[in-house]
Amino acid sequence: MESVDIGVSKSPAGNSVRVRVPPAAPIEDEKAELLAYVVGVALGDGNLSCPNGRATRLRISCDTKYPNIAKEMRSALKELLPLNKVSDVVCKGNCFDISVYSNKLNSWMPWKVDKGPKKLQAATVPEWILENKRFMPNCLRGLIQTDGCMYTDRGYKMVNFTNNTKILAEDAFEMISTLGFRPTFITTHSEGLEKYTVRLARKAEVPQFIEKLHLYKS
């Protein structure tokens, strides 16, 4: 059985600078696409913690308006971690978390538990995804399902990915471009904060992009 080496990646150490990290265990080839998707989801709306002092916990914030997306997230986690319990945690309002414990998360996720927020750690897409077109659509789907949107403006379909970490938005821009599409990169300022939006708006490209990433599920 072939495996994918996810240890040749680099992780950012702040200020948009990437540094080498220790090798992680390889993952079975057929599960690498699932991991690329989960990494995208986690980079968007995921949080790492270690509440019991033994195992790392991933919590993914979800909106009850999008049950099919939540179902896809649960399914991916259950297939990646078949021996671990994947559960829902009820939150206030129309939100809930999908939760799973596993120390495999320490090598899978591009940021570390108890080292501060993802933004401070400049968490971004691992190099093993950026170097392989096969994994990019899965990671992008996870990013857009969490920190992106699809909408219609004056009759034209648009796809956005918006984040406050510049290097992560730059990676999304790079992946979309590498897949043959022509996005734009927009920086906005509001109340002293910067946000970075990667937008795909070309009429001929948006339907192809949606189909390639299977973004039509809600």
Q: What is the pLDDT along the chain (218 residues), one digit of tens a residue?
A: 456 777 534 444 444 455 444 445 577 777 999 999 999 999 999 999 999 889 999 999 999 999 999 999 999 999 999 999 999 999 888 999 999 999 999 999 999 998 988 989 989 999 999 999 999 999 999 999 999 999 999 889 999 999 999 999 999 999 999 999 999 999 999 888 899 999 999 999 999 999 999 997 66
Domain that holds residue 111: 3-131
Instruction: Give the number of domains in the chain.
Output: 2
Distances (CA, A) of 64 to 40, 71, 90, 94, 147: 20, 11, 10, 5, 16
Both structure tokens of 111 = 């940021």
Which of 86, 101, 131 is at the close of a domain? Answer: 131
Looking up tokens 């690329």 gives 36
Q: DSSP readout, 108-140?
A: HSSS-TTS--TTTTT----HHHHT-TTTHHHHH
Give the integer Cα–Cα distance in Å for 123 and 110.
6
Residues 116 and 165 in one domain: no
Does some domain include residue 99?
yes
Helix, strand, or coil here: 217? coil
Q: Which token pair is 120?
A: 């401070």
If you ran DSSP here, which 8-state letter would residue 56 be given? Answer: -
User: CB 55: neighbour CB atoms within 10 A?
Assistant: 15
**For the chain, the helix, strand and coil percentages under 3-state DSSP, each to the nearest 5:** 35, 30, 40
Together in a domain, 86 and 183:
no
Give the torsion through C-alpha atoms of 74, 79, 84, 86, to 10 deg: 10
Give the integer Cα–Cα distance in Å for 191 and 172: 24
Whether 73 and 180 map to the same domain: the answer is no
How confident is the model at residue 8, as a pLDDT? 39
For residue 136, being part of any structural domain is answered with no
> Do both 18 and 102 map to the same domain?
yes
